[in-house]
Amino acid sequence: MYVTVVGGGNSTPIFAALAADAGHTVAILTRRPKDWDANDIGFVNDDLGYCDGKTEFRTKIALVTADPAECIPQSDMIFIAGLPIHHNPEVLRKIKPHMDMTKHVYVGSICAYGGFNWVAAEALGEGAYSLFGTQLIPWCCGTKEYGRTGAIFGAKRLLRIATEGGEDKDGVVPLLAKILKMPFLTHTDFIASTLWPNNPSLHPPILYGLFKDWDGKTPYDPATLPTLIYADLRTDSAKTLVAEDLELCAIAKKLSEMYPNNRHLKSNFSMHHCVNENYLEQITCKWDAVSSIITNKAFSKHKIPYTQVEGGVVPTLQHKFFETDLPFGLCTFVDIARMIGVETPTIDAMICWNQKLIGKEYMTATGLIDGRDAGECVLPSKLGLTATTLEYGFRGGTPAEIS
């Protein structure tokens, strides 16, 4: 296949190198092509349980470009793999004019949460393409050298691939299994992936527990703050994380009752179960969700972003932790919850806190996501979906029977 990897973030050199090694022609579409070396792309691997324990992986690819006309028309797979997901709508709209809508193309995202199928169908319109996404990022990863070398801290031991209808009718799962070197890939659908424990289930509650009383201006003494977002988890963060987890499980349970034929909604959505099935032996204390997060080797290097100011430091608000997980996570959860009659007091509190810090108005006193900036959010109700059409959205077949 001709595979175009869109974006220049942590996962880009990893997926690009793996796709090239699997025998595909690979292009990277990025705003900064001059900072990349197509002749030397790869990653270092800290996870001895992945890639047969190989510690470094290097290869070359066909093209790095900022012009979609150079790679999108011939692409068989377009994989958005190095961008915060709040950029997906704009990127998909820029890609659309260069796609042949009569040709079957796999269009996917490194993370399928945030209603990727709804966002992509709205941006791309009608076409012969099929949509997919990894339910979670395949690896906890970082960047060692921008434009050249990624870093894998820990790979998943189980990974679901979301497809339209949830049964992979177009055969993308075996292709990804070979690329990712993960023969155990299995199936899910997009509604399950949108609610599955992911970034919005982790970052907002941890940061809320730390900074819920912050006035948005007064600097902190850095010595009083944690450095690592997961490994340094503190009590208030843990309590909020557990409370949000219960609310998300309640949403999933209600949807599973409404869609009795959807096997993916019958999975165990709890954070404790999910993080352990994904990382297995990489977790050293599996007592509960909190201990599993703190002792997960794959999570151990991720930091909280701070900005140095006069008198100390403040949380970095211009970051995906504050700008993506709110409109593409928490607000999406609440919109679904309101549609099906599930209460979400913890998520509501986090939305009100977060939106104030970044100067947005998503939720209002009505308890709905109907503020002046609500148009920035992924809201199935505003996309024309209802409780009976959430499962598939605009494409992919007839929704399961509603009981």
Read off the pTM.
0.91
Look at 4-18, 77-91, 307-321 and tell me which has the smallest mean pLDDT.
77-91
Task: Specify whether the backbone of 51 is left (phi greater than 0), alpha (psi in -120 to 50) or beta.
Answer: left
Confidence band for 389, pLDDT divided at 50, 70 and 90: confident
- Would you list the DSSP string of 275-340? HHHHHGGGBS--SSHHHHHHTBGGGTT-B--EEEETTEEEE--SSHHHHTTIIIIIHHHHHHHHHH
CA 283 distance to own-chain centroid: 21
Residue 393, pLDDT above cutoff 80 = no
- Hey, what are 140's tokens? 């906890």
Distance CA 381, CA 362 (A): 14
Report residue 111's pLDDT band, with 50, 70 and 90 as the boundaries: confident
Dihedral, 161, 164, 165, 168 alpha carbons, nearest 10: -50
Using only the alpha carbons of the chain, give its radius of gyration: 20
pLDDT in tens, 294-349: 999 999 999 999 999 999 999 999 999 999 999 999 999 999 999 999 999 999 99
Beta bridge partners of 127: none
**Per-residue model confidence (pLDDT) at position 394:** 63
Angle at 64 between CA 58 and CA 68, to 5 degrees: 145
pLDDT of residue 388: 84
Q: What is the mean pLDDT of residues 217-225?
A: 97
Q: pLDDT tens across 132-154, in order? A: 999 999 999 999 999 999 999 99
Residue 297 is predicted with a pLDDT of 96
306 phi/psi in degrees, rounded to 5: -120, 155
The helix or strand, by DSSP H or E, that contains position 75, with its residue range, turns out to be none
pLDDT at residue 270 is higher than 50: yes
pLDDT tens sequence across 177-210: 999 999 999 999 999 999 999 999 999 999 999 9
Per-residue confidence (pLDDT) for residue 399, from 0 to 100: 40
**What domains are there in the chain, each with its CATH number?**
2-188 (3.40.50.720), 195-376 (1.10.1040.10)
- Nearest alpha carbon to residue 16 among 55, 73, 63: 63
